[in-house]
Amino acid sequence: MSHSQKLPQDPNIRALVSAMSQRSLSRRSVLGAAGALGLGGLLAACGTGGSKTGVAAGPAAADISASDPTLNWANWTLYLDYDDAAKAYPTLEAFTKQTGIKVNYSEDVDGNDTYYGKVQAQLKSGQDIGQDIFTLTDWMAGRVIRQGYTQALDPVNIPNSSNLLPSLQNVDFDPGREHSLTWQSGYAGIAWNKAKYPKGLKSVADLWDPSLKGRITVLDEMRDTMGLLMLQDGVDISGTWGQDEFQKALEVLRGNIDSGQIRQVKGNSYKEDFISGDAIAGIVWSGDLVQMNFENDDQWEFVIPEAGGTLWSDNLMVPVGSPRKANAEKLMDYYFQPEVAAQVAAYVNFICPVTGAKEAMEKIDPSLMANPLIFPAEEDLAKAHVFRSLDADEESSFAADFQSAIGA
């Protein structure tokens, strides 16, 4: 079932034009010539610094999967195919029918920091957080893996993981994909209500139009909001930059929050402000707007700003205290079948990380094979940048400054 907006593009997405000698490239080095890279080359860099996993928070929980055919999965909102009439997730229903495993699916992740704050104490002590899979963005995935808060995956139980795009099979935050698998990827860009702001937006600077005062939302994901603000300043966020560049962009953010230009800084719940009409424009995630348009009569337009947008991935992992790792691995294996991945992609409209999904999409909705938010257009990829790796001191300093600016 598809509810995606039909967007024209050249269906031929350029392959990676030069072989990469190392898969585990950092964000710092990969995007200097983004126009020369296909999707695989860009996604290869979607990782945080540091290639060593941390000391485990404690021994992994004893696995009771054989005697308990259930599974708890925490994900972001609007991030799995859903049948409004049946009030059910078709691919999950099919998984349960196929395996006998009942999945308790929850849209518990509204932001990486907020979710981490809720579960960090339990993870640190090795306790069960009530989820057998959680889905977090690259940089946070890197953090919890380094801290020993995830269980190593058994590749024997996930043979379909070989369908992960080759460039995603070895990322710098999880070499060899021992602890994680990519769920979806996407862009952060800007969007606006076409009827309420007909002149539209081309740049992040356009958000500061006085007529939009109090009607702007921006994301509480530091790398996306600050990434777009720094790109607006001409900073190569995948390259060499530091405190000065960050602080200059932060002052723009702080000034627009303090003046009331920005209504709120939110995670996934920003969609509620768009739908209610409280927000007219803002910094958003790509796939959300396609879904919202389908359900709300195509009210909004999404673009990657002229100065560029950010590119990110979210990742499936098993928390250290989960007692159902084998069940979690069965679900991961199921979703890396091209036919299933295509069904999810047709609904969520984020960049699909599964080899063969584009071909499988032909049987679901052939027009989506040309959808640039699933199988990106080359010109969009050329404007997509991955926020460079931060060292521990930068992570702490920049995050604290950002949280202070947004009043969190």
Residue 118 belongs to domain with CATH number: 3.40.190.10
Q: Which one is predicted more confidently, 42 or 201? A: 201
Residue 151 shares a structural domain with residue 209 = no
- Residue 390 neighbours by CB under 8 Å, 6+ apart: 48, 49, 139, 398
Residue 256 shares a structural domain with residue 340 = no
Residue 306 shares a structural domain with residue 241 = yes
Residue 91 shares a structural domain with residue 233 = no
Give dist(CA 108, CA 89) in Å, integer: 16
What range defines the domain where residue 287 resides? 188-310+392-406
Least confident of 48-52, 149-153, 298-302, 403-407: 48-52
Do residues 56 and 32 touch, judged by C-beta distance below 8 A? no
Q: Is residue 1 part of a domain?
A: no
Residue 267 shares a structural domain with residue 315 = no
pLDDT above 70: percentage of residues in the chain: 86
Angle, to 10 degrees, between the axis of helix 338-348 and the axis of helix 286-295? 70
pLDDT above 90: percentage of residues in the chain: 67
Residue 258 shares a structural domain with residue 139 = no
Nearest to 185 by CA among 60, 338, 327, 47: 47
Q: Number of structural domains, the chain?
A: 2
Residue 45 shares a structural domain with residue 98 = yes
pTM of the model: 0.74
Cα–chain center distance at 212: 27
Q: Is residue 4 part of a domain?
A: no
Do residues 214 and 260 touch, judged by C-beta distance below 8 A? yes
What pLDDT sits at residue 252?
98
Residue 86 shares a structural domain with residue 155 = yes
Do residues 309 and 325 touch, judged by C-beta distance below 8 A? no
Q: Is residue 96 part of a domain?
A: yes
Residue 34 shares a structural domain with residue 119 = yes
pLDDT tens track for 71-108: 999 999 889 999 999 999 999 999 999 999 999 999 99
Strands 181-193 and 281-285 turn out to be antiparallel
Residue 171 shares a structural domain with residue 320 = yes
